[in-house]
Structure 1
Amino acid sequence: MRERFKYDIHATDGAARTGTIQMMRGDIRTPAFMPVGTAGTVKAMMPESVRSTGADILLGNTYHLMLRPTAERVHKLGGLHKFMNWDRPILTDSGGFQVMSLTQLRKMSEEGVTFQSHLDGSKILLTPERSMEIQRLLGSDIMMCFDECTPYPATEDQARQSMELSMRWAQRSRDGFDSGTDHAARSALFGIVQGSVYEDLRFRSIDALQEIGFDGYAVGGLAVGEGQEMMFRVLDFTMPRMPKETPRYLMGVGKPDDIVGAVERGIDMFDCVMPTRSGRTGQGFTWRGAINMKNARHKDDMRPIQEGCACPACTQYSRAYVHHLIRAGEILGAMLLTWHNLQFYQDLMAGLRQAISDGRLTEHANNFRETYALGDIDPL
C-alpha cells in the first residue's frame, strides 16, 4: 500500500530542488503547477484534458464548494474525486482568502469569520474546525490550515496581529485535522506562513508552525499587490528559514517569470488562475511572452500559437482560427486557448525540473527571461 505522504528530493541546484511527493492517489513531480479547479472543475477543460497536459494535482476551493453544491452533498455523492472525475491528488485551500476577498459583510473574531454568502446572502461562520471538516468531507488529499490572508499594505502591528491569529488558528486546524482519524491516515496538512513583508514576523510564523508540525509549508500573503520585486525580497529572507525536508508551496502565484524566480529561491509548488482566466479572455502564453489573440495581426496567421507545443490548439489549429473563435465569442476559442495555456505552464515546470536535474538552472532561467522579454514575432 502506498504511503499517505512522502517527499523525496532528487536533485538540487542552488536553492532550487526537484523531487516527488508520493501520495496514495499518485505521485506529484516537483516543482509542480496545480491548475485551479475552483468549483470542482478547471474552467473550459475536461479532467482528462487537464491530465494530458502533465498535471499531477489539482486545486479545489473550500469556500466555493461549501456554498455550492455543499461539502455534505459532495461527500454523499462519493467525494470530490468521483464527483469531478479526477483520480489524482487534489489540494484544497482553506477558504480563508475567498472569505476575505469576495465577501463584503464579514466579521472576524477569535472563533473564526462570519460572512454573508455572495450567492444568497445567508450568514455563515467559518472556523478552523469547520474548514477542516469541509476539506475532510470533500476528500482532499492535501488540506490547508485556516488562516487570515494579511492584506497589503499592512503596518507591522497589523501584520503581527494577523499573523498571531493565523498561528492560533493553525494549532486549531492541526487539532481538527487530527481528530478526523480515518481521513488523517490518508491525507496531509500544510501550514501557512504569514507576516506580510516583515522579516521578523515571517521568522516567528515559521517557528510557530514548525512547533505545531505540518506535512508541508506554504508561503501565504504574497501576490496580493506588493509586486514581483517585493515578493522576491520576501522569499529571499523567508526561504532559508523554511524546513528543507518538506514541500514548500507559494500560494496564488503566478506569472511565468514569477514561477521561475520562485523556483530559483526554493519553492516546490504553485497554483494560479492565470492560465485559465487568460484563456477565457483571449490571452495566450508563448516562450516569447504573452500574446493577445484578439489582436487583428493574427487574423491571417497560419502558424500555431507556439511552435512545438503538443496541445490541440497548436497541433490542429492555426492562430487565425483561434483568433476567429475568440473574436466571435465561440466557446471553443476559450477551450483551445485554455488548453494551450495549461500545456505551456506544465511545459514550463518540466523544463525547470530538467534544468535542476542537469545542474543548469541559472542558465535555463536566464535564457527563459531573455527570450520571454523579446515579445512575439509578427508573421512575415
Structure 2
Amino acid sequence: MVLNGFVEGVDPATGVPGRICVASVAVDRPAFDGLNLELVGAVECVTGPLAGRLSAKPEERVAVTPLLAPEQVGAGVVSHGDGEEPDLLAMDPIAFEHLVAELFRARGLQAVTTQRSNDGGVDVQALDPDPISGGSIVVQVKRYRNTVPPSAVRDLFGTVQDAGANKGVLVTTSRFGPGSYAFANGKPLTLIAGTELVELLRQHGLRGRLGTGEPAPTLVQPVAAPVEADEGFNLLGMVWTGSVALDVCALVCAGSRVLADDWFVFFNNPATPDGSVAMVTPPPGDKAAVRVGFDALPAGADRLVLVAAVDPEVNPDADLAGFVDAGIVLRDDAGAELDRLEVSDGRPGETALVLGSFRRRAGGDWDFVLGGKGYTGGLAQLVGDFGIEVE
C-alpha cells in the first residue's frame, strides 16, 4: 500500500497553484502486521520503520517526492478531493464497480472486484467477517438511468444460489419498482437504489452524485410493465383457495390514516377521485383485481393498503378460516404472472384482514410490507383503524 498526503496551494518552487505532496509512505503486509498502531508515534513510525518521506515544513508547503504516483500505477487508485464530485451516471463502469467495492470496505467488509470475464454475474465479491451474521456476499452493479427490471433481481437470486453465497446485493444508480421489492421480500437480497447509494457514500467519506445534483423526480415506476395498455398502471390480482366470498379493497393513506373517505376504494366507491386506484374485472384465474397507477398517486400519499373482508350478504355466517394459499399477483400487460406476494392466511373468527401495504420509500420507490392483522368486526372495524367513520 502506498499513501500520499498532499495540500493544495501555491507551490513555492514554481509559483503555480497546484497539489503539493507533503508525505509519502509505502508498506507491505508483513511490515504493517509488525506494527503496534496503538502505541506508535506518527512521525517516528513514518520516518522510521516505514522509511517514508515527510515534509520538514508542511505548513510552508515544502514538498517531498512521492514514492509512487497514481499515473505510475493505472487503475485501482483511490483518490479523494480531486476535482468536482463525480457523476455516478457518467462514471466509467469499471471505476463505478471499484467505488462500490470501496464502499463495502468502508463498512468493514472485505471486498474485491471480479475479472470482467467468467465472473458468473458477480461484479464485486464481499465477505462479512462477523461470525454470527456474516458470510459471503455477491454484488451486482447496474449503472442504469431507467428503473431496474424485476428480471435483474431474479437473476441475482439465481446467482446467489449458484454461488452458494449467504446474500446478494444489487446496487444501481436508478431505482427499483414494487415488483423488484416484491420478489426480494423474504429472500437474502438487498436492493440499493441510487439515492440510497449516494447517502451511503457520504456517510462513509466517499463521493458521488446523480447527474446535475438536482432533486430526482419522485415519479414512481411501474411494477414491471404497462398494464391494460395504460402506461404507468399496474394490475394487482388477488388469488386464494376456499369457497368463501370476499371483498378486496384498497386504502390510499398518509401513514396509517386514509387521505379521505373517497380514497377508500371498495364496492360502493370503485375508484379514487383521480382514478389512480380502481377496482377492475379480474383476469382469468384471479378472484379480484386492483388497477394502480403508482406514479399518479398524490404526493402526500405514502401507503397503499390492500385488505380483504368476508362479504356478509353472500356468506353471512362465514369467517376467514377458508382464506388460505392467498397471494397478490403482479401481472404484465398480457396478463402473464410476473411475481407473487404471499399473504397471511385467515384465522377462525376473523372476518377482515390486512393483506399488506405498498409503502413509498425515500427516493420515490415503493416497497411491499406484509400485513396479517385480523378483525372480528369485519370491514367496518378494519377501516375504523384507518380513520374512516362507519355509520
Q: Which has the higher helix share?
A: 1
- Fold shared, TM-score > 0.5 on shorter chain: no
TM-score by length of 2: 0.30
TM-score with structure 1 setting the length: 0.30
Higher RCO (CA 8 Å, separation ≥ 6 residues) = 1
Bigger share in strand: 2
Please say which structure displays the higher CA radius of gyration.
2
